[in-house]
Amino acid sequence: MTPALARALERNTALVDGTLDRLLAPTSDFPETVRKAMRYSLFAGGKRLRPTLVLAAAECCGLSPRRALKTAAALEMIHTYSLIHDDLPAMDDDDLRRGKPTNHKVFGEALAILAGDGLLTKAFEAAAENAADLRLEGRRAAELVRVVALGAGVEGMVGGQVADLAAEGQARRLGKTAAARALEAVHRRKTGALIAASLDAGAILAGASAPRRAALRAYGESVGLAFQIADDVLDVVGDKAKLGKRGSDRDNGKLTYVALYGVDGARAKARALAEMAHAQLKSFGRRAAVLHELADYVIEREK
């Protein structure tokens, strides 16, 4: 990571964390038990990739990142809810996440489900507030909410998780080409859709044109897939302590990019996707500096 990116990430993380802290402040209407459960996973050391992408996309299109903070927080809340629900016993049944006990291990399953539901719902509240604060015109305010919902929902992230569950066990019976296609389809939705929505949301807040929105979405789709491939590589070659995981996907018999292409092949694929991401940023000039650096960072990170 370059010093410039490190500074940008540090600044954005502080801003986003402050916004999340305010959005989840104690009020008389907010039951303390679920508030604690929501905050536990929100402040469990996430990389803040999605909010950083919201802020960087907004900046890229001429809006001060500070004016996009509630939407950035919304995308992080959606990401966090998806982790809480994915970790549940009925889903991936994970005990650890980022080296800490998962939400349901600490708060019980019922509260973990409700904390996830609460985060997803509050995300839309926060995005709507951002639209109101910026006095977005009606069509654009509606488009912001719609883009976030499509990225998060059955056409996006939820659909990806459904496809992932369905693919379990099927992968072994597929040939390599079919397996590769199935794997990419899962990850384009499970990770890629919300990342693309993060960039689009930032662009919408900034009043960006349709071609600029499309370029940022395409950047996000490439970066999202590259991020997932890097995850698969890290799962094999990474430092378990840094990753905070107990088992690996390989141990669980999951289909991965490394299983399909080997470590070197997977790394080459991630690198090619990062190049595609860079290419989408041409028209933005120097304003896209953070996004350029992020495209390299997602494939070079160590956790």
Positions in the binding site for a copy of itself (CB under 8 A): 27, 29-31, 33-35, 38, 81, 85, 88, 90-91, 108-111, 113-114, 116-118, 120-122, 124-125, 127-129, 131-132, 135-146, 148-150, 152-155, 158-159, 161-163, 165-166
- Least Å from the CB of residue 144 to a copy of itself: 8
* Shortest Cβ 108–a copy of itself spacing (Å): 7
Q: Cβ closer to a copy of itself: 99 or 153?
A: 153
Nearer residue to a copy of itself within complex by CB, 162 or 272: 162
Are 119 and 78 a contacting pair, CB within 8 Å? yes
Helices 193-205, 157-167: inter-axial angle, 10-degree rounding: 170
Give whichever of 2 and 252 is closer to a copy of itself, judged by the CB atom.
252
Please enumerate in sequence order all residues whose Cβ is within 8 A of that of 264, keeping only pairs 6 or more positions apart, or say none: none
DSSP helix/strand/coil, 96: strand
Q: How far is the CB of 278 from a copy of itself (least distance, A)?
A: 27
Nearer to a copy of itself, 137 or 264 (CB): 137
148: exposed, middle or buried (Cβ count in 10 Å: 0-12, 13-18, 19+): buried
Tell me the H-state helices in the chain: 3-23, 32-42, 49-60, 69-87, 103-107, 109-133, 138-152, 157-167, 176-187, 193-205, 210-237, 240-243, 257-280, 289-300
CB of 238 to a copy of itself, least distance (A): 27
12 vs 19, beta carbon nearer a copy of itself: 19
